[in-house]
Amino acid sequence: MKYLDFVDSTYKPKETDLVCTFYLEPEGISLNEAAGGVAAESSIGTWTELTTTQPYVTRLAAHVFSIEGNIAKIAYSIELFEPANMPNILSSVAGNVFGLKALKNLRLLDIQMPKDLVNSFKGPNYGIAGIRKLLKVPERPLVGTIIKPKLGLNTKDHAKVAYDAWSGGCDIVKDDENLSSQKFNPFEDRLSQTLESRDKAQEETGERKVYMVNITAETDTMLKRAQTVLDQGGEYVMVDILTCGWSALQTLRNQNYKLVIHAHRAGHAAFTKNPKHGISMRPIATVARIIGVDQLHVGTVVGKMSEAKAEVLENIDACKAELGGLKPVLPVASGGLHPRLVPALVETFGNDVVIQAGGGIHGHPDGTVAGAKAMRQAVDATLKGLSLEEYAKRHKELKTALELWKA
10 Å Cβ neighbour count for 321? 12
Given a contact cutoff of 8 angstroms between Cβ atoms, the answer to whether 159 and 196 are in contact is yes
Alpha helices in 257-358 (DSSP H): 269-272, 281-291, 309-320, 342-349
Given a contact cutoff of 8 angstroms between Cβ atoms, the answer to whether 327 and 123 are in contact is yes
Using DSSP, state whether 284 is helix, strand or coil. helix
Find out whether the peptide bond into 328 is cis, omega within 30 degrees of 0: no
The catalytic position among 264, 268, 327, 362 is: 264
Please indicate whether residue 148 is annotated as part of the active site: yes
Nearest 5°: phi and psi at 18? Answer: -90, 130
* Separation in Å, CA 85 to CA 90, 98, 232: 9, 20, 32
What is the rounded distance in angstroms from the CA atom of residue 291 to the CA atom of residue 85?
Answer: 10
Given a contact cutoff of 8 angstroms between Cβ atoms, the answer to whether 76 and 17 are in contact is yes
Please indicate whether residue 264 is annotated as part of the active site: yes
Report the Cα–Cα distance between both ends of the chain, in Å, rounded: 59
The residues near 324 (Cβ < 8 Å, ≥ 6 apart) are 113, 115, 118, 119, 123, 290
Given a contact cutoff of 8 angstroms between Cβ atoms, the answer to whether 38 and 103 are in contact is yes
Using DSSP, state whether 26 is helix, strand or coil. strand
Burial class of residue 14, CB neighbours in 10 A (0-12, 13-18, 19+): exposed
The catalytic position among 63, 73, 148, 320 is: 148
Active site (catalytic) residues: 148, 264
